[in-house]
Amino acid sequence: MPPTNFDTHQFAAQAHAGQVDKGGKPYIRHINRVAAAADKRAHHALKVDGLKINPEHVLQAAYLHDVVEDTKTVPDDLVRAGYAPEVIEMVRLLTKTDEPMNYAERITALIETRNLGAILIKLSDNEDNASIERQLPTKEDVTARYAASLPRLRDAAAALGYTGS
């Protein structure tokens, strides 16, 4: 039986246990906000736009979007846990690689995949990362980097038929 959404949240919470964001708050709070926003967007894409998207897969990938990049979790752990290939693929697309690329190039590479679920998760992630509540005064350049990606991600989602915000 594949993992449930609850199982996935627990997996992410365990993987990120003890991690805090730059403001000193538990990192899982960021994960939860991203997952909630991506879930809402995926349901809009399915129910309003009639797009072929599985909101459950998007939600699970959103919970897991940072586990390979920021924890000891490796992709094979997700395979062993029974995640759908679509979930693992979105996580892979959202995970920074060792390939030398600046942030704008990474966003371009993601957009070029045309994977709506991954784009909606990245949009949700960057909105949360650009939020004034999450930023420290010394991180203005990082906030600008995330903010600059938002119109590009919105345009990419719209090009795939997504009409939500």
Is 103 a domain residue?
A: yes
Render pLDDT for 105-118 as a digit per residue (tens, 0 to 9). Answer: 999 999 999 999 99
- 55's CB contacts (< 8 A; 6+ apart) are 39, 42, 43, 45, 46
Give the domain CATH number at 66: 1.10.3210.10
| Chain centroid offset of residue 59 CA | 9
Tell me the DSSP string of 99-143: S---HHHHHHHHHHHT-HHHHHHHHHHHHHHH-GGG--GGGHHHH
Render pLDDT for 127-143 as a digit per residue (tens, 0 to 9). Answer: 998 886 665 555 557 77
Is 53 a domain residue?
A: yes
Integer angstrom CA distances of residue 100 from 32, 86, 104, 111: 29, 26, 12, 17
Strand partners, 26: 20
Stated pTM of the model: 0.94
Domain count, the chain: 1
Determine the pLDDT at residue 15: 97
Range of the structural domain that residue 67 is part of: 5-159
Render pLDDT for 17-70 as a digit per residue (tens, 0 to 9). Answer: 999 987 889 999 999 999 999 999 999 999 999 999 999 999 999 999 999 999
Average pLDDT over residues 86-113: 95
Is 165 a domain residue?
A: no
Q: CA–CA separation, 65 vs 57, rounded Å?
A: 12
Is 164 a domain residue?
A: no
Three-state SS for 67?
helix
Q: CA–CA separation, 128 vs 116, rounded Å?
A: 18
Q: Which residue has the tokens 């390979």?
A: 68
